[in-house]
Amino acid sequence: MKKVVTFGEIMLRLSTNQGERLSSANTLHMHYGGGEANVAIALAGYGYNTYFVSKVPDNPLGKGVCRHLHGNGVSTDFLLSGGQRLGTYYLETGSGERSPHVTYDRKYSSFSEITGDELNFEAILKDADIFHISGITLALSESLRELVLQAVQTAKRLGVQVSFDFNYRATLWSQEEAAAAIKPILPHVDICSCGELDAIYLLSIPKARSEWDNQERLVYYYEKINEMYPNIAVMASTFRTVHSASHNELQGNLYLDGKLYQSKVHDIKPIVDRVGGGDAFASGILCGLLEDQAPAELVAFATAASALKHTIYGDCSQFTKKEITRFIEAGSGRISR
Amino acid sequence: MKKVVTFGEIMLRLSTNQGERLSSANTLHMHYGGGEANVAIALAGYGYNTYFVSKVPDNPLGKGVCRHLHGNGVSTDFLLSGGQRLGTYYLETGSGERSPHVTYDRKYSSFSEITGDELNFEAILKDADIFHISGITLALSESLRELVLQAVQTAKRLGVQVSFDFNYRATLWSQEEAAAAIKPILPHVDICSCGELDAIYLLSIPKARSEWDNQERLVYYYEKINEMYPNIAVMASTFRTVHSASHNELQGNLYLDGKLYQSKVHDIKPIVDRVGGGDAFASGILCGLLEDQAPAELVAFATAASALKHTIYGDCSQFTKKEITRFIEAGSGRISR
Amino acid sequence: MKKVVTFGEIMLRLSTNQGERLSSANTLHMHYGGGEANVAIALAGYGYNTYFVSKVPDNPLGKGVCRHLHGNGVSTDFLLSGGQRLGTYYLETGSGERSPHVTYDRKYSSFSEITGDELNFEAILKDADIFHISGITLALSESLRELVLQAVQTAKRLGVQVSFDFNYRATLWSQEEAAAAIKPILPHVDICSCGELDAIYLLSIPKARSEWDNQERLVYYYEKINEMYPNIAVMASTFRTVHSASHNELQGNLYLDGKLYQSKVHDIKPIVDRVGGGDAFASGILCGLLEDQAPAELVAFATAASALKHTIYGDCSQFTKKEITRFIEAGSGRISR
Amino acid sequence: MKKVVTFGEIMLRLSTNQGERLSSANTLHMHYGGGEANVAIALAGYGYNTYFVSKVPDNPLGKGVCRHLHGNGVSTDFLLSGGQRLGTYYLETGSGERSPHVTYDRKYSSFSEITGDELNFEAILKDADIFHISGITLALSESLRELVLQAVQTAKRLGVQVSFDFNYRATLWSQEEAAAAIKPILPHVDICSCGELDAIYLLSIPKARSEWDNQERLVYYYEKINEMYPNIAVMASTFRTVHSASHNELQGNLYLDGKLYQSKVHDIKPIVDRVGGGDAFASGILCGLLEDQAPAELVAFATAASALKHTIYGDCSQFTKKEITRFIEAGSGRISR
Amino acid sequence: MKKVVTFGEIMLRLSTNQGERLSSANTLHMHYGGGEANVAIALAGYGYNTYFVSKVPDNPLGKGVCRHLHGNGVSTDFLLSGGQRLGTYYLETGSGERSPHVTYDRKYSSFSEITGDELNFEAILKDADIFHISGITLALSESLRELVLQAVQTAKRLGVQVSFDFNYRATLWSQEEAAAAIKPILPHVDICSCGELDAIYLLSIPKARSEWDNQERLVYYYEKINEMYPNIAVMASTFRTVHSASHNELQGNLYLDGKLYQSKVHDIKPIVDRVGGGDAFASGILCGLLEDQAPAELVAFATAASALKHTIYGDCSQFTKKEITRFIEAGSGRISR
Amino acid sequence: MKKVVTFGEIMLRLSTNQGERLSSANTLHMHYGGGEANVAIALAGYGYNTYFVSKVPDNPLGKGVCRHLHGNGVSTDFLLSGGQRLGTYYLETGSGERSPHVTYDRKYSSFSEITGDELNFEAILKDADIFHISGITLALSESLRELVLQAVQTAKRLGVQVSFDFNYRATLWSQEEAAAAIKPILPHVDICSCGELDAIYLLSIPKARSEWDNQERLVYYYEKINEMYPNIAVMASTFRTVHSASHNELQGNLYLDGKLYQSKVHDIKPIVDRVGGGDAFASGILCGLLEDQAPAELVAFATAASALKHTIYGDCSQFTKKEITRFIEAGSGRISR
Residues of chain A with pLDDT under 50: none
- Pairwise CA distance, residues B91 & B15, whole Å: 4
| DSSP structure string for D65-87 | HHHHHHHTT-B-TTEEE-SS---
Residue E336 pLDDT class (50, 70, 90 cuts): low
Q: Note if the bond before F270 is cis, omega within 30 degrees.
A: yes
pLDDT at B330: 85
Length of chain E: 337
Q: Alpha carbon A72 to chain centroid distance?
A: 16
- Could you tell me what percent of chain D has a pLDDT over 90? 96
Report CA-CA distances (Å) from F70 to D18, F45, F46: 24, 11, 15
Note the pLDDT tens digit of each residue in B59-86. Answer: 999 999 999 999 999 999 999 999 999 9
Residues of chain E with a CB closer than 8 angstroms to some CB in chain F: 71, 266-273, 307-308, 310-313, 318, 327, 330, 332-337
Please tell me chain D's helix, strand, coil percentages from 3-state DSSP, rounded to the nearest 5.
40, 25, 40
Nearest by CB to F103, which of A27, A29, A61?
A61
Nearest by CB to F64, which of A23, A60, A67?
A23
Query: Closest Cα partner for C22 from C126, C110, C93?
Result: C93
Chain F residues inside the 8 Å CB shell of C79: none
Average pLDDT value for residue range B127-139: 98
Closest chain B residue to the Cα of A268, Cα to Cα: B96
pLDDT at F116: 87
CA distance B129 to chain E (A): 32
Cα diameter, chain D:
55
Residue D332 pLDDT class (50, 70, 90 cuts): low
Contacts (Cβ under 8 Å, ≥6 apart) of D292: none
Query: Closest Cα partner for F234 from F195, F191, F193?
Result: F191
Residue D1 pLDDT class (50, 70, 90 cuts): confident
Residues C85, D107: C-beta atoms closer than 8 Å: yes
| DSSP structure string for D211-233 | TS-HHHHHHHHHHHHHHH-TT--
Note the pLDDT tens digit of each residue in D63-82. Answer: 999 999 999 999 999 999 99
CA distance F59 to chain A (A): 7
Residues B73, D70: C-beta atoms closer than 8 Å: yes
**What value does the mean pLDDT of chain D take?**
96
Q: Which chains touch A (3 or more CB pairs under 8 A)?
A: B, C, E, F
Residues C103, D61: C-beta atoms closer than 8 Å: yes
Residues of chain E with a CB closer than 8 angstroms to some CB in chain B: 14, 21-30, 59-61, 63-64, 67, 84-86, 88, 90, 92, 101, 103, 105, 107-108
Chain A residues inside the 8 Å CB shell of F23: 60-61, 63-64, 67
Q: What are the structural domain ranges in chain B? A: 3-330
CATH architecture of C3-329: 3-Layer(aba) Sandwich (3.40)
Contacts (Cβ under 8 Å, ≥6 apart) of C308: A97, A98, C280, C317, C319, C323, C324, C327
**What value does the mean pLDDT of chain E take?**
96
Chain E residues inside the 8 Å CB shell of A72: 67, 70
**Cα angle vertex A218, ends A213, A223, to 5°?**
130
Checking if the pLDDT of B185 tops 80, the result is yes
| CATH code, F1-114 | 3.40.1190.20
Closest chain C residue to the Cα of D313, Cα to Cα: C26
- Pairwise CA distance, residues E196 & A305, whole Å: 57
Burial class (CB in 10 A: 0-12, 13-18, 19+), C140: buried
Residues F332, D100: C-beta atoms closer than 8 Å: no
Nearest by CB to E103, which of B30, B60, B90?
B60
B3-330: CATH superfamily: Ribokinase (3.40.1190.20)
Whole-structure pTM value: 0.96
Chain A residues inside the 8 Å CB shell of E68: 71
Nearest by CB to A103, which of F22, F27, F61?
F61
Contacts (Cβ under 8 Å, ≥6 apart) of C109: C9, C11, C83, C84, C85, C86, C87
Note the pLDDT tens digit of each residue in E191-228. Answer: 999 999 999 999 999 999 989 999 999 999 999 999 99
CB pairs under 8 A between D and F: 84
pLDDT at B177: 97
Note the pLDDT tens digit of each residue in B209-222. Answer: 989 999 999 999 99
ipTM: 0.94
Beta bridge partners of B259: B256
Residues C318, A21: C-beta atoms closer than 8 Å: yes
What totals of helices (H) and strands (E) does chain C contain, helices first?
11, 14
pLDDT at E332: 65
pLDDT means per 10 residues, chain F with 337 residues, are 97 97 97 98 98 98 98 98 98 96 97 95 98 97 96 98 96 95 98 96 95 95 97 97 96 97 97 97 98 97 98 95 94 68
- Pairwise CA distance, residues E250 & E284, whole Å: 14
Query: Closest Cα partner for F97 from D189, E159, E332?
Result: E332
The DSSP bridge pattern shows strands E191-193 and B79-81 to be unpaired
User: Are residues C315 and C31 in contact, defined by beta-carbon separation less than 8 angstroms?
Assistant: yes
- pLDDT by residue for chain C (337 residues), tens only, comes to 899 999 999 999 999 999 999 999 999 999 999 999 999 999 999 999 999 999 999 999 999 999 999 999 999 999 999 999 999 999 999 999 999 999 999 999 999 999 989 999 999 999 999 999 999 999 999 999 999 999 999 999 999 999 999 999 998 999 999 999 999 999 999 999 999 999 999 999 999 998 999 999 999 999 999 999 999 999 999 999 999 999 999 999 999 999 999 999 999 999 999 999 999 999 999 999 999 999 999 999 999 999 999 999 999 999 999 999 999 998 767 766 6
Query: Closest Cα partner for C213 from C256, C253, C154, C185?
Result: C253
Nearest by CB to B311, which of C96, C242, C247?
C96
Cα diameter, chain E:
55
Nearest by CB to A108, which of F60, F90, F107?
F107
Query: Closest Cα partner for A232 from A209, A214, A257, A249?
Result: A257
Nearest by CB to F272, which of D19, D244, D247?
D19
Residues D27, C30: C-beta atoms closer than 8 Å: yes
pLDDT at B1: 85
Which CATH number, 3.40.50.300, 3.40.50.620, 3.90.550.10, 3.40.1190.20, labels domain A3-328? 3.40.1190.20
Provide the strand spans (E) within chain C: 3-7, 11-15, 27-33, 49-56, 79-81, 88-92, 101-105, 130-134, 161-165, 191-193, 234-244, 247-256, 259-262, 266-268
Contacts (Cβ under 8 Å, ≥6 apart) of B58: B81, B82
Note the pLDDT tens digit of each residue in D219-229. Answer: 999 999 999 99
Q: Which chains touch E (3 or more CB pairs under 8 A)?
A: A, B, D, F
Closest chain B residue to the Cα of E91, Cα to Cα: B60
Residue type, C298: L
pLDDT at A331: 72
D3-327: CATH superfamily: Ribokinase (3.40.1190.20)
Chain D residues inside the 8 Å CB shell of C108: 107-108
Chain A residues inside the 8 Å CB shell of F14: 14, 28
